[in-house]
Amino acid sequence: MNKLYGLLGHPVGHSMSPLMHNDAFTHLGMKGYYHAFDVPEVELKEAVDAFRLLNISGFNVTIPHKVAIMNLLDEIDEEAVMIGAVNTVVNMDGRYIGYNTDGRGYLTSLLKTIDRPLHECNVLVIGAGGAARGVATVLANEGVALLTIANRTITKAIEIKDNYQSYRHANITVVSMSEAEDNLGLYDIVINTTSIGMSPNVNDVPISIQHAKPSVVLSDLIYNPILTKWLIQGEAKGLKTHNGVGMFVEQGALAFQLWTGKYPDTERMTELVRKQLG
Ligand code: ATR
Cα–Cα–Cα angle for 89, 102, 261, rounded to 5 degrees: 50
C-alpha torsion sign, points 13, 15, 19, 25: negative
How far apart are the CA of 195 and the centre of ligand 1, in A? Answer: 6
Which alpha helices (DSSP H) does the chain contain, by range?
17-27, 44-53, 78-83, 102-111, 130-142, 154-167, 177-182, 229-236, 245-260, 266-277
pLDDT score of 80 more than 90:
yes
In sequence order, which residues have a C-beta less than 8 Å from that of residue 42 and are 6 or more positions away? Answer: none
- Ligand 1 atom nearest 126 alpha carbon: 14
pLDDT of residue 278: 84
- The mean per-residue pLDDT over the stretch 118-133 comes to 96
pLDDT of residue 163: 84
Q: Is 252 in the pocket of ligand 1 (CB under 6 A)?
A: no
How far apart are the CA of 128 and the centre of ligand 1, in A? Answer: 7
How far apart are the CA of 129 and the centre of ligand 1, in A? Answer: 6
9 labeled part of a ligand binding site: no
Q: What residue type is assigned to position 114 of the chain?
A: I
pLDDT score of 202 more than 90:
yes
Give residue-wise pLDDT tens across range 257-276: 999 999 999 999 999 999 99
Q: Is 91 in the pocket of ligand 1 (CB under 6 A)?
A: no
Q: What percent of the chain has pLDDT over 90?
A: 95
pLDDT of residue 1: 78
pLDDT score of 165 more than 80:
no
Choose, from 3, 66, 237, 240, the residue flagged as catalytic: 66
Q: Is 130 in the pocket of ligand 1 (CB under 6 A)?
A: yes
pLDDT of residue 225: 96
Give residue-wise pLDDT tens across range 208-253: 999 999 999 999 999 999 999 999 999 999 999 999 999 999 999 9
pLDDT of residue 66: 97
Best residue for ligand 1 mutational test, from 159, 176, 194 (most atoms within 8 Å of Cβ): 194
pLDDT of residue 166: 63
> 1: exposed, middle or buried (C-beta count within 10 Å: 0-12, 13-18, 19+)?
exposed
- Alpha carbons 215 and 224: distance in angstroms, whole number: 25
Domains of the chain: 3-100+246-277 (3.40.50.10860), 104-243 (3.40.50.720)
- For this complex, say whether ipTM is above 0.85: yes
29: phi > 0 → left, psi -120 to 50 → alpha, else beta; which? left
260 labeled part of a ligand binding site: no
Instruction: State the pLDDT confidence band at 168, using cuts at 50, 70 and 90.
Output: low
Is 3 among the catalytic positions? Answer: no
Q: Is 134 in the pocket of ligand 1 (CB under 6 A)?
A: no
- Ligand 1 atom nearest 66 alpha carbon: 2
- Ligand 1 atom nearest 133 alpha carbon: 4
- Alpha carbons 228 and 222: distance in angstroms, whole number: 7
The residue contributing the CA closest to ligand 1 atom 14 is 127
Per-residue buried b or exposed e for 240-271, using 16+ beta carbons within 10 Å of the residue's own CB: bbbbbbbbbbbbbbbbbebbbeeebebeebbe
Give residue-wise pLDDT tens across range 16-43: 999 999 999 999 999 999 999 999 999 9
> 173: exposed, middle or buried (C-beta count within 10 Å: 0-12, 13-18, 19+)?
middle
Average pLDDT, the chain: 96
How far apart are the CA of 5 and the centre of ligand 1, in A? Answer: 30
Q: Is 55 in the pocket of ligand 1 (CB under 6 A)?
A: no
Query: DSSP letter at 69?
Result: G
Instruction: State the pLDDT confidence band at 2, using cuts at 50, 70 and 90.
Output: confident
> In the structure, how many helices (H) and strands (E) does the chain have?
10, 12
Q: Is 128 in the pocket of ligand 1 (CB under 6 A)?
A: yes
pLDDT of residue 164: 79
Q: Give 166-199 as a DSSP string.
A: HHS---EEEE-HHHHHHTGGG-SEEEE-SSTT-T
